[in-house]
Structure 1
Amino acid sequence: MKFSGINLLDELGKSELAELRAAFHERSFVKDHIIYTPEAEDDLVFVISKGRVRIYLAYGDKEFTLAILNPGDLYATHADCYIQAFDDTTLLLAGVKEVKTVMARVPLFTRTMVRVLGHILRNSFSIIGDLAFKDIRDRLLSYILVEADTHGTKLEDGGVELRFDLTIEQLSLLMGATRQTVSTLLNNLERDGLIKKTGRGRYCIPDMDELSRQADKNAA
């Protein structure tokens, strides 16, 4: 899933942004490593170069995932969230001061960053709303619908093929639920004929309209 819809790796590859790209340095992290915590004093901006990053809040033993960032997405370490390597990950890191200095001279990147931050803010509010007002089944249905509509492959029979590219554990983190709960819900959706598992992390949605009606019925 492309989180922001704008790939900053492509932007940083442009010749007119060479000065800005030079401000970033690479650093790699192994899967599941906590890259930054809310207590970290580093004031950095980073772009995901490889792998994926999970942004989440933690209160006691509960975790609430706000986003899974992909290559080309951007975030900052001063957002008071935990930042975790979802896979083996490489980041392009730069100090906020250095980035600000260069951005003042490169309006193209400034406009791009504003759009990215707007996407992130809108998505964060959407996820927080889902966590607050929807039960786990509703959140899962909404996620499947958005992913299928955005990244699914239409089939000749009218269905849609979807690849999560997430393990059940990772999906459960995204849903704010236990692995067992998400696994049970997926089995129930398959039993009801709303989805059909076709491989590891791969599903077919026979009827998108029916899946959407189920989501609307639950929301009512």
Structure 2
Amino acid sequence: MNISRFDQDNYADFELLSSEDLALFRQIKYNKSELVYAQNIKFIILKSGHAKLSYISGINEFIINFISKGSIVLVDKDSVLEFLSDSETMELNLCDIKELFENEKFSMAMINSLIRTTIMTRQIVTDIVFGSLESRIINFLDNLANEQHTMVRDKKLVEIPFSIATLSNLLGAQRQSVSTIFNKLIKSGKLSKYGKNSYIIS
């Protein structure tokens, strides 16, 4: 079971939250490029906008996933949420979350989100520990192509909507290493350039 790092199951039924439930949340607006850190675990629903969740260690960044409206995430002292557009969130400290468990549908949405995050994290760890960088790049692009559903001459077409630097942060690898192997894949014919940011996977 592959869990996407780009297209999370989102919670959209805000009307299922009672006025008492909503009163538990802090509703906060953020501007593009603002960051959220948390000393204690913070529970966040992205009510509008786009963001990315990352681990930061010194000057190094590892992107966990991109999130959009309705995504449910946990932010702790080792992670940071960066807003990629003007956004609005609903935020709750973990110690206050128990009061929401009486709302069955919302509780299931939270549990499903945590399950998906756990599976996704295991997939990431497996790729990093057991896969070569070349295989990780190919698998990543193949999964991205599967989400985009575009074919050219019976082969998958993948559009890469971000820079090599961002791809490196998604793979947990050095930018130069990713760039070198990416060019190697093109020279070997495993990737064929098709337009500005798109490649055919052979």
With the length of structure 2 as denominator, give the TM-score of the two structures: 0.81
Over 3 Å counting, the alpha-carbon distance change for 1:5 and 1:144 in structure 2 is same
1:163 matched to 2:159: yes
Residue of structure 1 aligned with 2:30, choices 22, 25, 28: 28
**Contact 1:53–1:84 under 8 Å retained in 2:** yes
Cα shift at 1:143:
0.6
How big is the shift at 1:86?
A: 6.2
Cα pair 1:43 1:95 within 8 Å, conserved: no
Alpha-carbon shift at residue 57 of structure 1 (Å):
4.8
Match for residue 93 of structure 1?
Answer: 90
Structure 2 residue runs without a partner (length 5+): none
Partner Cα separation in structure 2 for residue 197 and residue 54 of structure 1: 29
Partner of 1:125: 122
Give the stretch that moved more between structures: 177-186 or 116-125. Answer: 177-186
- Distance of 1:21 and 1:160 partners within structure 2: 44
- What is the identity, as a one-letter code, of the residue corresponding to 1:53? K
Q: Which moved more, 1:179-188 or 1:22-31?
A: 22-31
Query: Matched residues in 1 for 2:182 and 2:86: separation?
Result: 28
CA distance in 1, matches of 2:104, 2:191: 46
Unmatched segments (≥5 aa) in structure 1: 208-220
Q: Does 1:144 align with 2:123?
A: no
Identity over aligned pairs, percent = 21
SS at match of 2:106: helix
Distance 2:136 2:56 in 1: 17
Query: How far off its partner does 1:54 sit?
Result: 2.7
**Count of aligned pairs between the two proteins:** 194
TM-score relative to the length of structure 1: 0.75
1:175 to 171, 191, 202: 171
* CA root-mean-square deviation: 2.5
Query: What whole-Å deviation, never above 9, does each CA across 1:166-187 have from its counterpart, x for those lacking one?
Result: 2111111111222222222222
Shift of 1:121: 0.5
In structure 2, the partner of 1:199 is: 195
- Within the candidate set 7, 10, 21, 1:7 is matched to 10
The SS at the match of 1:165 is coil
Checking the alignment, whether the CA contact within 8 Å between 1:29 and 1:85 is kept in structure 2 is no
What is aligned with 2:131? 134
